[in-house]
Structure 1
Amino acid sequence: MYSVSLHCICLECVRFKDSVGLQMIPRCTTKQIRSDCPQSAPRFALMLKILSMIYKMVQSNTYATKRDIYYSDTLLFGSQSAVDSIINDISCMLKIPRRSLHILSTTKGFVAGNLSYTEEDGTKVNCTCSATAVSVSSNVQGIKNLISHAKFVLIVEKDATFQRLLDDDFFNKVSPCIMVTGRGVPDLNTRLLVRKLWDSFQIPIFSLMDADPHGVEIMCVYKYGSVSMSFEAHHLAVPSIKWLGLLPSDLKRLNINKDALIPFTKQDQNKLASIQKRPYIACQPLWKKELEMMAASKLKAEIQVLTSLSQDYLSRVYLPNKLQFGGWI
């Protein structure tokens, strides 16, 4: 009989540390996967298969994405989520980042603005000169020689808003900046890039999200990390991130017409209630106040609601005023 012991990645095994974010508790509950147990034997076999692939990649100094691993034997693995889960378990069990396993994540994020760097293979990337955004590297930890004169980093929740700011040449008009989007819930590489920018330049990082529970959730992933990746919090989370907008209080301050706002769904109410109970909200009294305002109104708004004031209100008025007069929390 063979077995492996894995840390359970769940809320009970995670604690909040202000300087790090969500962090796995040492010596937390473990689960055992055994080769002689009918319930866990298939997973044990899949884990051995992926470990053997990792061993070969480390030996040959080659890399693969999670999708590469899945498509190497789709019948064996059954689903992409099964592969993702096992890779997370292996990374957690060995207490090393996924990059050290020679496994790369498929990237979906974009970066633009005052930034240039060199990829690990020597390719030079210049985001400043590009008229379009650059895809976030699939090997963020391998990039080097980062150069920027940016005054701040702006994380944008949605691709549509990011593209609008790009079209308006926002990162050059106000002051030099770097814009990043994970196009919704950020993938690992986008989170790694935001952390690398913070480590490299130590400049303010602001987040621009929809004024809804989903947007707040995404911002919390960048700032404090996620439960599923809590064992890598010190590589991923950036606790210094500030909430620039869209704030629930902005909707009232700007006299946004209530007809332009969206009523909460039951799912929105549950999501917001869950966020309000999290330990890091107690450390953010101004956040707490904004969330209470959102809960009381039971209304949400997308960033695009600002176009009801004028088509370029976001880039011409809203963001410049916020950045100049300190309208973040």
Structure 2
Amino acid sequence: MADARRSTIFFTEQHLSYADILPPLEVRARIEVAVLNFLKVLNSSTPAISILPMINRKASNSRVNHGLLTEDSWIFLSHSFCTKSLMRENTTKSFMRVWKMLEMCYQILVQEKRVTQRELFYKLLCVSPDYFPSQLQVNQTIQDVVALLRCSRFSLGIMASSRGAVAGRLLLQEPDQEIVDCTTCGSSGYAISGDLNLLDKLIMKTDAHYIFVIEKHAIFQRLVEDRVFNHIPCILITAKGYPDLATRFLLHRMSKAFPEIKILGLVDWNPAGLAILCTFKYGSIGMGLEAYRYACNLKWLGLRKDDLDAIPEESFIPLKPKDMQIAKSLISSEILQDNYKEELAVMIQSGKKAEIEALYFHGYDFLGKYLANKVVQVSYI
């Protein structure tokens, strides 16, 4: 691998564990250096096809960093490289995709634009259909470029698509805009922008004691309609399912801006709910180079196995093969703390799962009472 690093077209450092936020001019310069080095190798007295060194983004290369003085933890990738080469049949197309993505990102930066991954997909589908037949190739290639240039995807001009919303005791002010009171945004809440630069510049004020991270939009709406933040000093945030980057980024920002506030997750009692919670808490392996920018010290409030007595037997749902697959992946991961593994073991042993809505058996206003009772137990979670 040492020899491979010497012949690569870009950095020669052996260590790559995070991606920087860089100004457009520096990102453009890094792309230009990559191109010049590639041409230099082709025009040498012994021309060769250079390789592209990529940090290995597999689970086997992931680690969890635990803070020494805080409870914060996040996923990062250790210094194991994989390579893409035009000369290897299994990496030829992905090698070409990286160059095409570099070209597209360079154009975006020159034009001073921001685009979403979806917009990039349709553009690449038109100009390079053989290399980008689906969104998956676009998403994976973006992460390859992040690993190559060692800069965040936002630095490449790629904007996060956001599904998220926030409500409750939070005042937000965008640059040169009026203050938004998130207690008055209605049941849908304040829509979280996909522009991470804008989210980074938000001025935020709150008197909340808790931030509730809600898995489902419908549960979020119920809690907002019940104005639970009038009874519990809290902020509610949801990504409406699996967390998008913008929602994770805003939650991370709030965790840094208001370090005294406890962040608590309300998810279904099933493997998918726990996977969602872990993504908020640790970041994701796929984003390992910049996972720490989207992680926060979130505690699992509910549903927990101790809540199952409050759920009628008829409301439990059998675990499906997909659930078992997620559970197997989680339980074998070093990121999962022991008490979370115990919850998974109970799910697997019982062969069943439960959704938050099962608590409606006790009345549609029960969720607020449930949260008020659970926050008393926060220090034991």
Per-residue deviation, 1:328 = 5.8
Quote the offset at 1:287 in angstroms. Answer: 2.5
Aligned twin of 2:191:
135
| 1:54 aligned onto 2:110 | no
Query: Any gaps of 5 or more consecutive residues in structure 1?
Result: none
Deviates more, 1:200-209 or 1:95-104: 95-104
The superposition leaves residues 246-293 of structure 1 with CA deviations (integer Å, 9 ceiling, x where unpaired) of: 1122112x2x22122112223323322332222133xx3332333332
Which position in structure 1 is the counterpart of 2:148? 93
* Counterparts in 2 of 1:113 and 1:39: CA distance versus 1, 3 Å: same
Shift of 1:325: 4.4
1:226 is the counterpart of 2:287? no
* CA deviation string 1:191-240 (max 9, x = no partner): 111111101111110000001111011111111121111111220111x2
5+ unaligned residues in a row in structure 2: which ranges? 1-48, 68-72
Residue identity opposite 1:196 in structure 2: R
Match of 1:270 in 2: 325
Comparing 151-160 and 40-49, the one that deviates more? 40-49
Residue 161 of structure 2: SS of its match in structure 1?
A: coil
8 A Cα contact 1:322 1:328, kept in partner: no
- Alignment partners' CA distance in 2, 1:184 and 1:122: 29
Q: Which amino acid aligns with 2:167?
A: A
Correspondence 1:194 to 2:251: yes
1:31 corresponds, among 77, 83, 91, to: 83
What's the C-alpha RMSD, in Å, of the aligned pairs? 2.1
What is the one-letter code of the residue matched to 2:359? Answer: L
User: Among the aligned pairs, what percent are the same residue?
Assistant: 31
- 1:165 — aligned with what? 223
Matches within 5 A, 1:298-309: 298-309=351-362
Q: SS of 2:85's equivalent?
A: strand
Contact preservation (8 Å) 1:14, 1:25: yes
Output the CA distance in 1 between the equivalents of 2:364 and 2:111.
53
Distance 1:288 1:3 in 2: 41
Q: Relative to 1, partners in 2 of residues 1:298 and 1:146: Cα closer, same or farther, differing over 3 Å?
A: same
State the match for 2:115 in structure 1: 64
SS at the partner of 2:269? coil
Whichever residue aligns with residue 186 of structure 1, its letter is P
Partner of 1:297: 350
1:84 to 131, 134, 139: 139
The residue number in structure 1 matching 2:61 is: 13
Q: Look at both structures and tell me which one has the larger radius of gyration over its CA atoms.
A: 2
The answer (yes or no) to whether the contact 2:167–2:190 under 8 Å persists in 1 is yes
Residues 115-136 of structure 1 deviation map (CA, whole Å, 9 limit, x = unaligned): 2333367575442321131221
Farther off after superposition, 209-218 or 91-100? 91-100
Q: CA deviation at 1:59?
A: 3.1
TM-score in terms of structure 1 length: 0.90
Distance 1:174 1:56, change over 3 A: same
Matches within 5 A, 1:246-261: 246-252=303-309, 254=310, 256-261=311-316
The aligned amino acid for 2:373 is N
Tell me the secondary structure at the aligned position of residue 279 of structure 1.
Answer: coil
Query: In terms of mean alpha carbon deviation, does 213-222 or 110-119 score higher?
Result: 110-119
> SS where residue 228 of structure 1 aligns?
helix
Q: May I ask how many residue pairs the two structures share in their alignment?
A: 320
TM-score, with length taken from structure 2: 0.78
Structure 1 contact 249–290 (Cα < 8 Å) conserved: no
Pick from 152, 176, 181: which aligns with 2:210? Answer: 152
**Mapped partners of 1:43, 1:324: distance in 2:** 51
Distance 2:305 2:316 in 1: 11
1:149-181 residue CA offsets vs partner (Å, 9 max, x unmatched): 221111000111111111111122322x21111
In structure 1, the residue matched to 2:274 is 216
Could you tell me how far apart the structure 1 residues matched to 2:289 and 2:176 are?
Answer: 28
Distance 1:153 1:318 in 2: 15
SS at match of 1:222: helix
Give yes or no for contact 1:244–1:328 (8 Å, CA) kept in 2: no
The equivalent of 1:326 in structure 2 is: 378
**2: CA distance, partners of 1:323 / 1:56:** 50
Structure 2 equivalent of residue 244 of structure 1:
301
Going from structure 1 to structure 2, the CA distance change for 1:114 and 1:6 (only over 3 Å counts) comes to same
Contact 1:207–1:244 (8 Å) recurs in 2: yes
Compared CA separation, residues 115 and 106, structure 1 to 2 (3 A):
same
